[in-house]
Structure 1
Amino acid sequence: MKFKALATALCLVSMPMLVSAQTSLADQTRQEQRVQKAHDADREQDFRLTEQEIRAQYNALVKQRDQLQAETDELSATFSKNENDLARLEEQLRLETGSLGELFGVVRQAAKELDNELAYSVTGVDRKTFRPVVDSIVEAKALPSLKQLTALWQGMEDQISASREMRLVQVPFINGEGQTNNVDAYRLGSIGLVAEYGYINWDGKRAVAKPYLKQPENGPVLNTLTGLTETGMQAAVVDPSRGIMLEQLANSPELSDRLEHGGIVGKIILGLLAIGLGISLFRGIKLTLVRQQINKQLKSPTQPGDNPLGRVLSVYNKEQKRSVEALELRLLETIVDEQQGLEKGLSMLKLLAALAPMLGLLGTVTGMIETFQVITQFGNGDPTIMAGGISTALVTTVLGLVSAMPLLLAHNILSSQAENIRTILEKQGISLVAEQAEKAGTAA
C-alpha cells in the first residue's frame, strides 16, 4: 500500500514536467518546419527562374533555327535559279560560238607546239620576241583575241625564217670546268649550234649550252663556218635530228672500249695474238732471208755459203767419195736437219691459232654466266643491266675468231715458204746424188 501511494505521488509530481517537455519539443519541431518550408520556397523560386531562362534560350534557338532554315531555303532557290541561268547561258554560248570552240582547240595546240619549239630549239637563243604572247594563248581559258592570233601567226613565220639562217649569236656556255661564259657560235637554222670546237648542246630549260662528249668526223667549227659564210657557200656537216644523233654518238664505243669489254679473257687472247704475230713476223723475215740466200747460192753452187743449201753442198763435197747410197743418206740427214730449222716456231703458231677461238668460247660462257647472275638478282626488265655480260660474251668470241684468222693465215704462208725451201733442198740433193751415180757408172 505504501509503495502504491509513493508511485502515485511521484506520478503526480512528474506530470507537469512531462507536459512542459512535450510543449518545448513541439515548438522546436514547428520552428524547424517553418525554416524548412522557407528553404523549400527559395529552392522552388530558383527552379522557376532556371526554367524560365532555359525556356527563353530554347525559344531563341528555335527562332534562330527557323531563320537559318529560311535563309537556306532562299539560298537553295537562288542556287537553283543560278544553275538554270548558267545552263541556259552555256547553251547560248555554245550556240553562239559554234565552231569557234574547235578553232580555239586548234589554236592552243598550235601555240603549244610553237612554245615547245621556242623552249627547246636552238632558235630560242635569239628568237624570243613572241614567247610571252604564245604563253598567254597556251594558258588562256577563253577565245584568243585577234591580236593574239596575229602574234601567233607572226611567231610561226619568225621561226620559219630563223630555220633557214646561218647566224652568229652569243650563247651562255658551260665549259668542262663548270664555268659559264658567253661564247660566239653559229646557229645553223633550227638544227644546231657550232662553236669554236664544234657542235654544242643547247639546253632550253636552263638557257645554257654545253659541249657534246664526242664530235663527228669532219664536223664544222666556228672558223670553217665563218669562211663558208664569207664566200657565200652554204655547206656543212649537220645533224638533221637536232642533236639526237650527236648524243647517241657518245654512246658508240671505240675500239679501245670494245677491247675493254672483253675482260681478262679478251686480254689473254690479245696477248696470244701478239705473241703469234711476233713469231710470224720473225719467222717470215727469217725464211725470206733464207730464200734470198738460197737463190744467191744457186747462182754459185761451187762456193757453199752459210745457208741451208750451202750446208747441203758442203756435205756433198765432204762425202762425195762415199758410195751413192751412203751419200744419199748423208744428204737426206742434212735436209731433215735443215727442215727442222725451217719449221721452227710453226707448231707454236698453229697451237696459238687453235687456242684463240677456244679462249673466245670460254669468254662467251663466262659472259653468259655473268648475264644470268644479273638476271637472277635484278630480273630482265632493264636490258642495260645485262649489257655488260652479253658484251663480254660477244667481244671475246669476236677476238678469238679475229685472232685465229691471221694466225692460221700466217701459219699457212710460213709453212708454204718452208715447204718450198725444203723442196729446193730435196731437188738439189737428188741432183747431187744423180750426179754422183753418173760418175760411179762412168768409172765402172
Structure 2
Amino acid sequence: MNYVVKLLCIGLLSLSFTASAQSELTKSAQTHNKEQATHNAQRESGFKLTEKEYLAQKKALEERKRKVQNQIDMLAKTFSKNEGELAKQEEKLRLDTGSLGELFGVVRQAAKELESENQTSVTGADSTQYSQAVTSIVAAKTLPTLPQLTDLWLSMNEQIQASAELKESEVKVIDGEGNIASQLAYRIGSIGLISEQGYLHWDGKRQDATYYSKQPENGPRLNSLSELSEGNVETMIVDPSRGFMLDQLALTPSLFERLQAGGVVGQIILTLLVIGLIIAIFRGSKLALVQQQIKKQLKTPETPTDNPLGRILSVYDEEKHRNVESLELRLLEAIVDEQQGLEKGLSMLKLLAALAPMLGLLGTVTGMIETFQVITQFGNGDPKVMAGGISMALVTTVLGLVAAMPLLFAHNILSTQAENVRSILEKQGIGLVAIQAEKQQAKSTVGNEI
C-alpha cells in the first residue's frame, strides 16, 4: 500500500514538472515568433524603400535618355542642314574664284620653292628681308593678298640680285669643337660662302655655317677673294654645284684611308712589299757593285782582288799545275760557289711576288664573307652597311697585284744581272781552261820532238 502511494506521488510530481516545462517552452516559442515577426517587418520595409529608389532612378534615367535622344535628333537635323549649306557655299566659292584657285596653287608652289631656296642657298646669310612674307604665303589657307604677292615678287628679285653679288658679311660659324663665333665671310653670289679657312656649309634653318670636313686643294680663301676683287687674281676654284661636289669631296677617301680599308690582310701585303723592296734594293746594289768590280778585274787579270772573278783567278793560280780535267772541275766548283752568292735573296723575292696576289685573294674572300654576313643581319637595302666588306675585298686584291708587279720586275732584273755575272765567270773559266790545255799541249809537243 505504501509502495503504491509512493508511485502515485512520483507520477504526480513528474506530471507537474512536465506541465511546467511545456509552459516555459511555449513562452519561449511565442517570444521568438514575436522577434522574428518584428525582424521580417523591418526587412520588408527596407525592401519597399529600395524598390522605390530604384524606380525613381529608372524614371530619371529614362527621362535623361529621352532628352539625349531629342538632342541627337536635333544635331542630326542641324548636321544635315549644315552639309547642304556647306555644299552650296563650296559651289559658290568655286564659281566666284574661278581660275583664282589655280593661281593660288601656283603662288603657293612658287613660295615653297623660294622658301626652300632661302633655307639652302648661301644668299640666306644676308638676303632674307622678305623671308617672313614668303613663309606666311606658304602657311596661308586663303587667297594671297596683293601686298603678299608684292612681297613674293620682291623676295624673288632680292634672290636674283643676290646671286650676282660678291659681298662680305658677318656669319655665325660653328667650329669642330662646337664653339660659335661671328666671322667675316665672302659670299660668291649663290654659289658659295668662303672664310679664312675655305668654303663654309650654310644652314638656313639654324642661320649658321660649318666648315666642310675636306677643302679642295688650292681652294679660295678670304685673302685670295680680296685680291680677286682688286683684279690681282685671274682664276679661282669654285663649286658650281653649290656644295654638292664639296660634300662628295669629303666622302672621297685618301690614300691612307684606302689602305686602312684593306684591314689586316692589306697590312700584311704592304709588309711583304716593303721587305721585298728592301731585299731588291740591297741585292741590286750588291750586284751593281760586283759588276763594277768585275769590269776593273778584267782590265788587270794578273792581279786578282776580292771579287767573284778575282776569286776565280785565284783558284786558277793555285790549281794551274794540275791537269786540264782537274783544273776544269776546280774552276767549275768555284763558279758554282760564286753563283750561289750572286743569286742569294732572289728566291725570296720570287716567293713574295707569288704570295702577294694569293693574300689579295684571301682578303677578297674574307671581305665577301663579311659582306654576306652583313646582308644576312641587316639586308641589302643600305649599300653603306656593306661598304666595309666590299672595300676590303677590292682593296686587298689591288694591293696584292700592286705588290706582286714590282717584286716580279725586281726579280727579273736581278736574275738578269746575276745571269750576266755568271756568264762572265763561266767565259773566263772556260778561257782559263783553254789556256791551260794549250800550255799542256805545247809541252807535250815539245817533249815529243825532243
State how far apart, in whole Å, the 2-side matches of 1:392 and 1:70 are.
75
Question: How far apart are residue 378 of structure 1 and its match?
Answer: 3.0
Question: How far apart are residue 440 of structure 1 and its match?
Answer: 2.8
User: Structure 1 residues 291, 90: closer, same or farther in 2, change over 3 A?
Assistant: same
What residue is the counterpart of 1:20 in the other structure?
Answer: none
What residue is the counterpart of 2:110 in the other structure?
Answer: 110
Question: How far apart are residue 342 of structure 1 and its match?
Answer: 0.3
| Structure 2 contact 224–233 (Cα < 8 Å) conserved | no
Code of the residue aligned with 1:304 in structure 2: it is: P
1:154 aligns with 2:163: no
What residue is the counterpart of 1:342 in the other structure?
Answer: 342
Higher mean C-alpha deviation, range 422-431 or range 411-420: 422-431
State how far apart, in whole Å, the 1-side matches of 2:220 and 2:336 are.
65
1:407 aligns with 2:414: no
What residue is the counterpart of 1:284 in the other structure?
Answer: 284
Code of the residue aligned with 1:270 in structure 2: it is: L
1:438 aligns with 2:421: no
| Structure 2 contact 301–313 (Cα < 8 Å) conserved | yes
User: Structure 1 residues 441, 224: closer, same or farther in 2, change over 3 A?
Assistant: same
User: Structure 1 residues 170, 234: closer, same or farther in 2, change over 3 A?
Assistant: farther
State how far apart, in whole Å, the 2-side matches of 1:158 and 1:317 are.
100
1:428 aligns with 2:432: no
Aligned length: 387
Per-residue CA distance 1:205-242 (angstroms, 9 max, x = gap): 21111111111122111111111111175742122222
State how far apart, in whole Å, the 2-side matches of 1:147 and 1:127 are.
19
State how far apart, in whole Å, the 1-side matches of 2:76 and 2:375 are.
65
State how far apart, in whole Å, the 2-side matches of 1:107 and 1:232 are.
45
Question: How far apart are residue 172 of structure 1 and its match?
Answer: 0.1
Code of the residue aligned with 2:175 in structure 1: it is: N
State how far apart, in whole Å, the 2-side matches of 1:148 and 1:89 are.
26
What residue is the counterpart of 1:360 in the other structure?
Answer: 360
* TM-score, structure 1 as length reference: 0.80
User: Structure 1 residues 333, 150: closer, same or farther in 2, change over 3 A?
Assistant: same
Code of the residue aligned with 1:269 in structure 2: it is: I
What residue is the counterpart of 2:93 in the other structure?
Answer: 93
State how far apart, in whole Å, the 1-side matches of 2:205 and 2:171 are.
14
SS in 2 for 1:250: helix
Structure 1, unpaired ranges of 5+: 1-49
1:377 aligns with 2:377: yes
What residue is the counterpart of 2:314 in the other structure?
Answer: 314
SS in 2 for 1:168: strand
When the two chains are superposed, the root-mean-square deviation of aligned CA atoms in Å is: 2.8
Higher mean C-alpha deviation, range 96-105 or range 406-415: 96-105
What residue is the counterpart of 2:448 in the other structure?
Answer: none
Question: How far apart are residue 198 of structure 1 and its match?
Answer: 0.8
What residue is the counterpart of 1:10 in the other structure?
Answer: none
State how far apart, in whole Å, the 2-side matches of 1:323 and 1:276 are.
45
State how far apart, in whole Å, the 1-side matches of 2:380 and 2:70 are.
66
What residue is the counterpart of 2:19 in the other structure?
Answer: none
State how far apart, in whole Å, the 1-side matches of 2:324 and 2:119 are.
99
What residue is the counterpart of 1:231 in the other structure?
Answer: 231
What residue is the counterpart of 1:125 in the other structure?
Answer: 125
Code of the residue aligned with 2:172 in structure 1: it is: P
Code of the residue aligned with 1:206 in structure 2: it is: R
Question: How far apart are residue 76 of structure 1 and its match?
Answer: 7.4
1:329 aligns with 2:324: no
Question: How far apart are residue 315 of structure 1 and its match?
Answer: 1.9
Q: How does 1:169-188 map to 2 (within 5 A)?
A: 169-188=169-188
User: Structure 1 residues 139, 99: closer, same or farther in 2, change over 3 A?
Assistant: same
State how far apart, in whole Å, the 2-side matches of 1:70 and 1:320 are.
138
Structure 2, unpaired ranges of 5+: 1-51, 446-450
Per-residue CA distance 1:69-106 (angstroms, 9 max, x = gap): 69976x87777666555444433332332222111111
State how far apart, in whole Å, the 2-side matches of 1:78 and 1:234 are.
77
Per-residue CA distance 1:113-170 (angstroms, 9 max, x = gap): 0011111211000001111211121122222222222221221122122112221111
User: Structure 1 residues 77, 411: closer, same or farther in 2, change over 3 A?
Assistant: closer
Q: How does 1:124-143 map to 2 (within 5 A)?
A: 124-143=124-143
Question: How far apart are residue 65 of structure 1 and its match?
Answer: 6.0
| Structure 2 contact 262–392 (Cα < 8 Å) conserved | yes
State how far apart, in whole Å, the 1-side matches of 2:145 and 2:381 are.
50
SS in 1 for 2:251: coil
State how far apart, in whole Å, the 1-side matches of 2:80 and 2:280 are.
100
Q: How does 1:234-253 map to 2 (within 5 A)?
A: 235-253=235-253
* TM-score, structure 2 as length reference: 0.79
State how far apart, in whole Å, the 2-side matches of 1:319 and 1:234 are.
81
Per-residue CA distance 1:256-315 (angstroms, 9 max, x = gap): 222222222222222111111111010000001111111122222222221111111222
SS in 1 for 2:304: coil
State how far apart, in whole Å, the 2-side matches of 1:82 and 1:374 are.
59
